[in-house]
Copies of this chain bind each other. A is one copy, B any other.
Amino acid sequence: MFTPGAPVPDSAPWSAAVGQGGGVLRSVNIGALALEAGGELPSVTVAYECWGTLNGDGSNAVLIQHALTGSTHVSRGDSEEDGWWEGLVGPGEVIDTNRYFVVAANMLGGCYGTTGPSSIAADGAPYGSRFPFVTIRDSVHAEARLADALRIGSWHAVIGGSMGGARALEWAVTFPERVQRCAVVAACAASTAEQIAFAQAQVLAIRQDPNFAGGDYYDGAAPTLGLGLARRIAHITYRSEAEMGARFGRAVQPGEDPLGDGRLRPSTGGSVAGRYRVESYLDHQAHKLVTRFDANSYVAITEALMSHDVARGRGTLREALAPTGCVEFLVAAVNSDRLYFPAQSEELAAALPGDVKVRRIDSAIGHDGFLTEVATVGELLRESFFAD
């Protein structure tokens, strides 16, 4: 995988857009970006991967938007690492790279190449605490400049799951003439009170880690305990109660005793108990994330997601969605999702122009079904956008 925060060399975008097997991280500098919440970022790099070849009239481009801690690496391509929607994009796959030119861009504020808090500011030091508040809409504006650089006028489709779905929806509303088809998977029109509440807990977990140092920790130890706790909280919400129950139940982690040993210990640490298997599993999820993600980016992107409201400044939801110019809209929900409830997808679909039916992704796993049920996502996309 790409190293979080590592500088990405700018490429010549037009040449980069031709004949890609994917799996190579590229970037363009889009210059200064004015931000929705005020202020600007003086020099923004947008990192991306692409697969396939853009055709002469630029009509075969597909944008795939990643989720909160996702990256541009949708598909293995010429790399050796599987992508997060492996099997969906490639020669002969649903999104056939013999026919389509597929792009994935790293979110503004991220740590996989696009300008974020770990990026080096003009003074030669990382932004850290100086990184401004960015929104989903800001990232979409940055991505539009990437599309300009790649000479993509209008996307055949913009597709995203979870936060990627929020980004896809923002695309369809912010640039209605540039999005012909839009897929919003396991996402909704605006982050809800509960989504905000869980997000707040995650942001606090990081901010309260003393290593966070207000965001200026790049010279010292990273706030891995806080980031790990944030990930544990998030991961619970990504899975269903039933899935965790069936998979772990009350099983005990081998060699450990969750009831502790009951001894009165003179040392610090208390009578720390051993773990249940579900605790070990969440520890593992936390460990994996802290080795690949920057805590400041986690905060920045989480706060951007909290800000998600496609109707902000655009009237009612129905009014906000009215200008979308899509010939097809795919709204899909995982039926066991308890972070982005199917009812929220129904609300979105009902407010969209035309007759949009919510398609279900049948999975007991919860929200993460949008990642695990690649075949179902592929079928829905094939039917809706890639049938011919």
Contacts and interface: CB of A to CB of B under 8 A. Distances in A.
A268 B214 contact: yes
A198 B233 CA distance: 7
Interface string A150-178: 00000000000000000000000000000
A258 B129 contact: no
A183 interface: no
Contacts of A36: 259, 262
B262 A130 contact: no
Please tell me how many copies of the chain the complex holds. Answer: 2
A196 B262 contact: no
Contact of A270 (B40, B129, B193, B194): B129
Interface string A272-304: 010110110010000000000000100100010
A131 B192 contact: no
A338 interface: yes
Interface in A206-245: 208-210, 213-216, 225-226, 229, 232-233, 236, 241, 244-245
Interface of A: 35-40, 117, 127-133, 135, 190-194, 196-198, 200-201, 204-205, 208-210, 213-216, 225-226, 229, 232-233, 236, 241, 244-245, 247-250, 257-271, 273, 275-276, 278-279, 282, 296, 299, 303, 306-307, 309, 338, 341
Contacts of A37: 257, 259-262
B264 A197 contact: no
A226 B201 CA distance: 11
A249 B193 contact: yes
B248 A129 contact: no
A250 B296 CA distance: 24
Given A38-B263, A132-B260, A244-B197, A273 B303 contact: yes
Given A131-B271, A269-B129, A306 B258 contact: yes
Contacts of A309: 250
B236 A201 contact: yes
A275 B249 CA distance: 36
A268 B229 contact: no
Nearest to A199: B279
A106 to B, nearest CB: 20
24 contacts: A37-B260, A37-B262, A39-B261, A128-B270, A130-B264, A130-B270, A130-B271, A132-B262, A132-B263, A132-B271, A192-B241, A193-B241, A193-B247, A197-B278, A198-B236, A205-B229, A208-B208, A213-B268, A214-B267, A214-B268, A215-B268, A241-B338, A258-B306, A260-B303
Contacts of A39: 261-264
B210 A210 contact: yes
Given A201-B232, A215-B268, A196 B276 contact: yes
A232 B270 contact: no
A112 B39 CA distance: 51
A229 B203 CA distance: 10
A341 B242 CA distance: 10
Contacts of A282: 197, 200-201
Contacts of A200: 232, 275, 278-279, 282
Contact of A226 (B131, B196, B208, B306): B208
A196 B278 contact: yes
A245 B278 contact: no
Contacts of A198: 236
A208 B247 CA distance: 27
